[in-house]
Every structure is written in C-alpha cells, then in structure tokens.
Chain A
C-alpha cells in the first residue's frame, strides 16, 4: 500500500529501509523508527478498531500510551493482545489487527525469556525529556550513581515532537550530546524503552525494559524479551511530562479526531501528515504550534477554533501571516462523517452559551484542552495532589520524602522552565543526599517563551445535538459518555471513586490517562461544586500494562518454587516411580510394574512390607541437630513427653504442641550424646519446627546453652521394613549384632560399610520389624543398591509414600496435618501416653487443663470399617448418625466429624479409614454413616489400630 501521507523528508525514521507489515489482512509498508500508528497514518488509515460496547469506529487519537483509541492485537511473531498502535514499534513481518476492546491470549506457551535485574542508585530519574536529561546530567556530573529510564525508543521526550533549540543548536543535537555525556559517566545506567511503572516504599521502583519487542522475528533468542528492573534509589526524580487533555464534544470519538500535540509528534518524529485539511480546536496556546507546523508542512489548516474570547496576540499574528483563519470565541460542537471525520461543526461560544453551528470541511480535527501533568508516580508514592485552577489539572500538592517531580510533570509547561526545573530539583536532591554539585554543571539555555495567555478550562462543550451527552465520549475505551456521568450523579453518587465504578471510566487499558481529569471536571460541573472538592481517583501501579510473563520472569515452571529431590531421585526415575509433591519435595508415590495401576501396586508393596521386606526412601524427613549442655532441657520444654531421661543410644517418639495444646508435629528423637540429639520431624514440618525451636531459644530462654541446625540434607534415610528386614540388614552390616536382645526396638547403632559411616536405628512407622539406615547423601545410591542386593533373596520391594501411608494408617499412626488440623490434642489422638505427667511444665501443658479440652464430646481419632467391605470412603467425607428410629435427623443434619485418611488394605482384605469423630472412643462398636456419591454407607467405628494391635510384630 502506498504512503501518500508521508512527508518528503524529515522525521526520525530510516527512509532507506522499508519494512513490510500486515494490518487487518492488508499489506502496508513503513520504516525503522515508525510505530504501527505512524505507518498506518502514512497510508492514510486512521480507523484501527471498533468500540467495545457500541461498535463505533475508533482511530488513532494520540501518539503514545495515552491513546484511548488505537487498540490492536499482534498476531506475528507471537500473539499478544491489548497493545496500542501508537506504542508498537514497527518491524518487518509484523501482523496485527484492530481490537474491539478485548483481545485474545495466545493459546501456545510463550517461548521468549523474561528476566529481572536488581540495581541500586543514588538518584533514579524517570523520563529523558528536557527536565529529566538536565536532572540526570546534574546528578551524574556530581558523581552520583544515577539511573535514567525512559519509555520511548530514544531520549528527548517532548523534544522529539517539536522544532526547539537548546544552547543554540537543534534540541535533538543537544539531546544526543547529553546522552553521550551520560554514557561517559561510569556510574550512570541509561535505559530507553524502559517504563517505570510503579513506585513503592523506600525508594523502590519497578521498571519494564522492552529489550527485543521492536526486533520482531529477528529478536535473538538468547536475549530476554523484557526485563523487570528492580530499582532501589536513595532518591527519585520523576520527570514524566504531561498528557494533553481533550475537550469533550458530540461525536468526538470519530476517527480523524486527534490530540493536537500528537499531530506534531507524527509530523516531526515520524514524517507523517495526519491529513490534508485540518481544523484545530483549542483552549490554550500550545495547539497553535500544531496548526503552524502542519501549515508549513503543506496541510491546509481550515481554521483554528479558539474557545477563549481572544486569541493570544502573537499567535493571532503568526496565523495571519500564514493565512490561517482564527475563530476566537468559538467551539467545535460535533463532527460529521462515518468512519472518518469529514466536517467539524463550529459554533460561536461566549459565556458558556453556544450559538448555531456551521460545518467546516476537514479530514482531521486536532483538539487541545490543556495539559495534565503525569503525576502517576508521585501519587503512587502517596503524594497528595492539588487542583490547579489555572491549568485545569492536578499537580503535586506536597513534598514527599525521597521523591521529587520536575518539569511539566510538576506543571511547568515551557522548555526553558523545564530545563531549569530539572537542574533545580536535581540539586535539591543531591543536597538531601549530601552530594555536592559539580562546579562545571551548567544550565542549558533555551529561548525565553512569550508570556503565555491563560488557558480556558473547558471540560466539555454544551451538547447542542439533542443527544444530551450520549455521544459525548469521556472514556473512549469504555464507551462511557457525559450522559453516563450524568446518570451516576443523578443516582446520587457524589464521590469520584463511586462515579468511576458506576461508569467504569478509567478502568480500561489506559487507566484513564485522558479521561480521568475530564471526569473530575464534568462531575464537579454537574454537582455544582469546585473540582478541588471532587478530587481525582487513586493512581495505582502499573502506569502502563505489564505482561504477567514479565512479572514472572524466570520464576516459571520448575523454577517457580524450588523442587527438592533426594540423592536417589535418578534411581527412582529409572525405576519408573510415579512421583507426588510433598511440600517442595518430589517423592516416589509408588513403583508400578507393567500393567499395574496405583491400587494394584500399593497392594503389592504393602504385602511385601508386611510379609517379606520393603524399602523406602525416607530422606525427606526433617532432621535437626540439637547440641549444647542444655539440649535436653530445651527438648523437655518443647516435647510433651520426657526426653532428658533418654539414654545415649536410644530413641524416643515425641509430640510437640503449641501453647494452645494442639499438636503441631511429631517424630522420633535420637540421643547421640549427653549434650546432643538428632530430632526427626515430619517432611512438611522440618522448617517450621526449626523456626519454632529458634523462636523459643531466642525469645524466651536465651539463657539455655543450646544450638539447633538443620541437617535434613546431610543424611539420607532408608527404612528397611518387614519380617525379613533383620536378614537384609544383618547380611549387609555383619559387624552389627542385629538380634533383638543386642539391638532392641527404639535404639540406634553406628557402623560402617567399607569405611563409610552408617547409622542404623530400630524405628518403625509400619508396626513391622524395621531398621532405618542413615548415610551421607554421597553414598546414597551405593548403599541403596547394596540393600537391594542383600534383599534380593527375600524379594525386597521398594515402596512409595502411598504404601507408607497405608502401613502407618493400619497401625493408627496419625500424619500431623492430615489426620490433625490444628484443633487436635495428643489426647484426642489417643496419645495420652506420650504426655508426661512428671514434668512441671512444657509448651502446651497448661492448655490441656482448660475446660474446653476436657470435653468428652471432643473429636477423637478412631478407625472406620465400611460394613460392605467394598467402599473406599473419600477422604474429607462427613460422618452422620441415624436417630433411634433408623432415620436421619431433620436438616441441617449434625456432622459428627470427617474421614481423615482412607485406603484399601491388603492385610485386612478390605478398605478402612481413620476419622476424627465427636466422642469417637465412646462410639467404638457403633455403626455410623458416611455419605458417598449420594448414598449413605454404613461404617463400623473401631479403635484406630487395626493391624497387630498387640504390637507383636515390631521385634520380628
């Protein structure tokens, strides 16, 4: 497609290179340096989309992120929704189309890389326009560590859109000198294409750098596509500029309607004319630059519609010389056209009264209602805003610690003023940081501006179309109009926050960059109150949309949360284990043989452990080394049972409770020496229990001479379980007398295997004869394989966590956190035997005596046997009972408790469950009911120990 609206020369584009792209299925061309918007305008295309609710044509209305109109979806090289044509840099092969307000997420994974970098500076300067560059230069010259970030593809800010001169040279020459000087300072980080999107506490700011988006398919795969900069600054200077504000009139959303400043940007930066015949509608001086520049570029400027009674004299004279008609005391009341403006309706305007309109032919209507300082970051830093009557905008209204605002973001709207403000703010910032400014820090000079004439604050033109504001669009992205605000106010809403939520204004992709202040103004007008009373809605991060992929960075997939694997992991994988997540650990759940499902594998593994020998990788158990003369004192205070009486070489099971008396963890304790214990915790409780011990030692008992440290990863643990375990362990460790007399239950022995230290412990989590084998992870695979070899004659069977759970549940051993939930005492678990009556105090003891803990109706751990010998009760199922008449009580049916663990048992040849049941131990022998898939399954309440209740098996 041809580019009839491209100027013959000028702009920051590389005309020697032509890029091909596709929009809405049509082929277009552009140049490096173009945006999608400028390239479309060069072809004469204004409309890019239709609106979300009303389906009205919408076009490019601004040249950067404040554009409420030009919403697009990129399809190639990678699908990305909800972008603005004005901010998408053009590249070869781009495929995009317009969006009616809603995009489509990619249905394939994003293969690009995203990352994050931390960086610390003295001064962070946001914005590389005249104020920001001057501030950065002043800080850099003083030797401060500086970061300068700017969201555009090149530095310059507003200077990229004009014809200013600084220090007697074209402003962009000054910009490139400034950038070169900054590059010479080793402590300066200067990033373009980088949007500071959030300011948080204590000088923390987040910025998104778009590193390869502009390269399209040519983006190198090894470079991250986007990078989140996590910047920590001692002080922040925001020089974020100002957004031009539209004026609302009827049919102001018609493509071809554009902010006046944006037209200058398209002309000077991209070498594009927005049209052939322009009408310029303004309430302030700035739009005259657009009118005059476009005139010089060959656009026929039909009229400058000046809402003020008088045009500023020097501007009027300039227009006269150029032959441009100025209509003072006039407004645009509406537009004509279908998919593009064909006429502006112009009417006389005085004292708020609109006269009769006449149509002025044009193909582009440029609008300026003044400028809104971009106070977003200041406001995010909890800076209070002040309404400036003269500007008709909100400006920073107070000093904020560690953050200053410079240039037009602070309401300074002339170039010389912005340069001076940048230097002044930087010097104040340096002074607060006790850094002296450099002697050679010189203020760049710009021509003194002609004194401006006060702008007219005009939010909207009275609606003469008869539509009562229904086509006067305030928020184009939300299709929200003056009529919608009037409806909100009519419904009694007074707060601007309520008006925002009622109308949805400011909640779209652009977060109200053009509509926010207008809404405050129009709401105030409708309520008849000053704008300072309505105020503005809260600015929250992010300033512009940020992709979740960028925020996630490298923390995706397996890097999202650490995956912990044991030293045997590769062996488990090779053995075909099916894994389950236990906290961060990957644990083998079962080892299916060909053709086996989980149920078959678990029945086989359980049978091996109960009748032959099985082996488990139990390395994930938490292990804490507790050392010091007072180690036994600490453990006596934290465990419910007595630990200090434990002999060196012996093992004791212990329960820990919170101060409320509820069980928080359980496990075994090995006494290694008089002053040293190895505490074993549950897999999930390891970190929590170490923290718990530390908290008591540091905060309550700092006098105790004891140290606790995690040794979970210093030992692997292999329980060898079953009646033949003694044969296996005895064969592999011939130096150890494994007889019950020499090596009784709940003792441990040290030995070695070819010089490798090994610890053996008679601990059983299955009720069977069992030996736990501890060794350094370096030798894990070798020792495991030796155990398998030694066990081969007995059919040794590796088993996973599922079998471990069945075996322990058959014995009524609870899993803390599965069979308990933080409301369960040791007594509720039937573990009164593990609660010392000798110790005067321990954590939790006093709570056991509380009245609530004496209640016989407390939920207690019991076993359940489904009467049909078939049903595996779903864990979590509720338990109910029938009345004497054999019927359920009327709803709501009281719940007696719930199923906490449920499995199929090879040993019992039937399913069974553990459950917490009100007054459970009193109910042993009763039949209660469990609803399963709409049927009430009768179950017998039993004791919690279903296999070998006499404990005859543990010694083999």
Chain B
C-alpha cells in the first residue's frame, strides 16, 4: 500500500486516490476549429511514457482535490506533486 503525498493533506494511502491520466492535456480553446484528427488526438490519444510521467491524481476519498504529480512509471515512485495552477517542476 503505497503512500501518495497529497499536496493538501500530506501522505495518504493510495486507496484514497483516483488516477486521472496524463496531465497538461488542456481542453482545446476552440474545438470547432479543430479537424477530426486533431480533435481525436485530444479525446483518445495519450502518451505511454516509460519513466517520469506527469499525471493527474484526485484525492477522491480525502479532500477531493485534483493535483498533478510526476511519477516514475517503472518504479511507481512519486517524484513530486504540485497544484494544478503550478507549472510542471523542472527535474534534472
């Protein structure tokens, strides 16, 4: 049972969280202006990164807040968590 550091609540057990997929995929400003293919990339296409990956998480059974995290998909370790209104941390 991994601990996930919620930026609002501190470390909590992973069962309290929901995964929200890749982070920094904003809703397009003007969907009507996009081609079917461009729109399909927003709706269906996500990266499948091995290693550091910026993700969205929701502390569903706690404060119910969404936040972003950089997690290593090979070790499952969370390298950093950050608020949605903060930029993706620069990691070495």
List, sorted by A's number, 9 A–B pairs whose CB atoms are closer than 8 Å: A202-B11, A204-B1, A659-B42, A691-B60, A695-B20, A695-B58, A699-B66, A700-B26, A846-B34
Q: Considering the chains assembled together, what is the distance between the CA atoms of A421 and B69 in angstroms? A: 40
Asked whether, in the complex, the Cβ of B84 is within 8 Å of the Cβ of A698, the reply is yes
Asked whether, in the complex, the Cβ of B43 is within 8 Å of the Cβ of A698, the reply is no
B73 close to chain A: CB less than 8 A: no
Contact status of A850 and B36, CB under 8 A, knowing A694-B64, A841-B31: yes
Inter-chain contacts of B60 with A (CB < 8 A): 691
A882 close to chain B: CB less than 8 A: no
Inter-chain contacts of A851 with B (CB < 8 A): 36
Asked whether, in the complex, the Cβ of B66 is within 8 Å of the Cβ of A850, the reply is no
Closest to A659 in B: B43
Interface set of B (CB-CB < 8 Å, partner A): 1-3, 11, 18, 20, 26-27, 30-32, 34, 36, 39-40, 42-44, 56, 58, 60, 64-66, 76, 84-85
A778 close to chain B: CB less than 8 A: no
- A838 smallest CB distance to B (angstroms): 14
Of B18, B27, B30, chain A has the most CB atoms within 10 Å of the CB of B27
- A540 smallest CB distance to B (angstroms): 16
Q: Count residues on chain A whose CB falls below 8 Å from chain B CBs.
A: 21
Inter-chain contacts of B26 with A (CB < 8 A): 700
Q: Considering the chains assembled together, what is the distance between the CA atoms of A695 and B20 in angstroms? A: 9
Contact status of A202 and B2, CB under 8 A, knowing A698-B66, A702-B85: yes
Q: Considering the chains assembled together, what is the distance between the CA atoms of A699 and B25 in angstroms? A: 10
- A555 smallest CB distance to B (angstroms): 13
A845 close to chain B: CB less than 8 A: yes
Q: In the complex, how many residue pairs between chain A and chain B have their CB atoms under 8 Å apart?
A: 53
Closest to A840 in B: B32
A660 close to chain B: CB less than 8 A: yes
Out of B20, B36, B64, B84, name the residue touching A702 (CB < 8 Å). B84
A571 close to chain B: CB less than 8 A: no
Q: 20 new A-B pairs (CB below 8 Å) besides A200-B2, A204-B2?
A: A201-B1, A201-B3, A202-B1, A202-B2, A202-B11, A204-B1, A660-B43, A691-B18, A694-B64, A694-B66, A695-B58, A698-B66, A699-B20, A700-B26, A841-B30, A841-B31, A846-B34, A847-B43, A850-B36, A851-B36
Closest to B77 in A: A201
- B7 smallest CB distance to A (angstroms): 13
Interface set of A (CB-CB < 8 Å, partner B): 200-202, 204, 659-660, 691, 694-695, 698-700, 702, 840-841, 845-847, 849-851
Q: Considering the chains assembled together, what is the distance between the CA atoms of A846 and B84 in angstroms? A: 25
Q: Considering the chains assembled together, what is the distance between the CA atoms of A840 and B33 in angstroms? A: 11
- B43 smallest CB distance to A (angstroms): 5
Out of A200, A698, A847, A850, name the residue touching B1 (CB < 8 Å). A200
Inter-chain contacts of B36 with A (CB < 8 A): 849-851
Contact status of A695 and B43, CB under 8 A, knowing A202-B2, A850-B36, A851-B36: no
Closest to B40 in A: A850
Inter-chain contacts of B58 with A (CB < 8 A): 691, 695
Asked whether, in the complex, the Cβ of A201 is within 8 Å of the Cβ of B31, the reply is no
Inter-chain contacts of B40 with A (CB < 8 A): 850
Q: Considering the chains assembled together, what is the distance between the CA atoms of A155 and B40 in angstroms? A: 64
Inter-chain contacts of B85 with A (CB < 8 A): 702
Q: Considering the chains assembled together, what is the distance between the CA atoms of A720 and B17 in angstroms? A: 41
Asked whether, in the complex, the Cβ of A850 is within 8 Å of the Cβ of B84, the reply is no
Closest to B30 in A: A841
Q: Considering the chains assembled together, what is the distance between the CA atoms of A841 and B1 in angstroms? A: 42
Closest to B31 in A: A846
Closest to A699 in B: B66
Inter-chain contacts of A846 with B (CB < 8 A): 31-32, 34, 39
Contact status of A700 and B27, CB under 8 A, knowing A659-B43, A694-B64, A847-B39: yes
Contact status of A850 and B39, CB under 8 A, knowing A695-B66, A698-B65: yes
Closest to A690 in B: B64
- B54 smallest CB distance to A (angstroms): 13
Q: Considering the chains assembled together, what is the distance between the CA atoms of A213 and B79 in angstroms? A: 45
Contact status of A699 and B84, CB under 8 A, knowing A659-B42, A840-B32, A841-B32: yes
Of A659, A699, A840, A851, chain B has the most CB atoms within 10 Å of the CB of A699
Inter-chain contacts of A841 with B (CB < 8 A): 30-32
Shortest 3 CB-CB contacts between residues of A and residues of B: A846-B31, A201-B2, A202-B3
